[in-house]
Amino acid sequence: MATAVQQGDLSRYARCVEVSKRVRWEIDRDVFRGRDLDFSKKFLPDGLSQVRELAFLSREERRLVSQIQGRTYANMFGLVERYITVKMLELSQDHALGDQAALEALVRFTDEELKHQEMFRRLEAMTAAGMPPGYTFAPEPNDVARAVLASSTWAVLGLTCHIELFTLAHYIQAIERDADLSEVWKEVFVYHWVEESQHAILDELEWRREDARLTTGERDAGVADLIELVRAVDAILQVQAAADAEYFIAVCERDLSRVEQESVRAVFLRAYRWQYIGSGVSGERFLEVLGDLVDAGQAARIRAALQPILTATAAR
């Protein structure tokens, strides 16, 4: 039986409900407004795509790298939101006959993630219409959701907290400040950020609530599960980075040398590992929350497991 909401958290759930109602937006009325993507502009900012490391590419080729990575970026959110929606729907049951603000906060969270999935599907269709054929997004949302949801709730909430915190960090540190992005692509992530800000708070509240009911042994198993989940994310990134690099090499309108092709493959993988793992697990808030939940031995196990991936994200 999950623990009840702590008294001090009551107002935080209620505050999330209040903000969620105030910032609520609609896909067509607010985000797309009948507009299309501008393919003469970038999608993903340089700070995330690491495209500056590919100095041998022309301006147009760098823009294509940004658009390919930006396409995958949107698809990755659509992917993880499938399992996040289902998990939050499940957790909302814990509050069904309890704190009604917590119930409402998680119901709204679920509703927002369903809407986000639709927005990212729409964005993918718009992107596909303006780019050469041949792009593939390998992971299937339901397969990934089934695999993730088989893991312990502690680990699933840890992964989710990490994802939703890096969503906020990417927006503040890179997307918001890049004036050269396609307006529609950028605004998708402005609106996404506005609602994700509440999700990150709720992830933390739910992760702490779940943590409070665990024995040391159960938490230990949760740590092992979290490490496995991050490794599973890395396996997905390896496949998708390779697919996206090959797509770029195929459609970039000139023959790249073998060395240049290798650089493209390496930068795509490094960028994806940074975007979806490195930037999240090194985030200040994530480390703070994790530090509150795990003991020194468990923290060391997580650090050791992540070290090879984090080393691989360091720019050359």
The verdict on 116 binding Fe ion (CB under 5 A) reads yes
Output the CA–CA distances (angstroms, integers) from residue 286 to 5, 10, 159, 213, in the order listed.
21, 21, 10, 20
- For the bound state, the minimum distance from the C-beta of residue 110 to Fe ion, rounded and expressed in Å, comes to 10
Residue 199 or residue 270: which is nearer to Fe ion going by CB?
199
Q: Of these, 199, 209, 219, 273, which contacts Fe ion (CB under 5 A)?
A: 199
- For the bound state, the minimum distance from the C-beta of residue 21 to Fe ion, rounded and expressed in Å, comes to 16
Residue 197 or residue 261: which is nearer to Fe ion going by CB?
197
Nearest to 271 by CA among 174, 165, 162, 197: 174
- For the bound state, the minimum distance from the C-beta of residue 202 to Fe ion, rounded and expressed in Å, comes to 9
Residue 84 or residue 181: which is nearer to Fe ion going by CB?
84
Residue 42 or residue 116: which is nearer to Fe ion going by CB?
116
Copy the structure tokens of residue 109. 């969270």
- Compute how many residues bind Fe ion; rule: CB under 5 A: 3
Return the range that interacts with Fe ion (CB under 5 A); candidates 190-198, 215-223, 264-272, 308-316. Answer: 190-198
CA distance 75 to 117: 9
- For the bound state, the minimum distance from the C-beta of residue 192 to Fe ion, rounded and expressed in Å, comes to 6
Site for Fe ion in 49-108 (CB under 5 A): none
Output the CA–CA distances (angstroms, integers) from residue 297 to 90, 153, 162, 225, 281, in the order listed.
30, 21, 20, 15, 17
Residues that bind Fe ion (CB under 5 A): 116, 196, 199
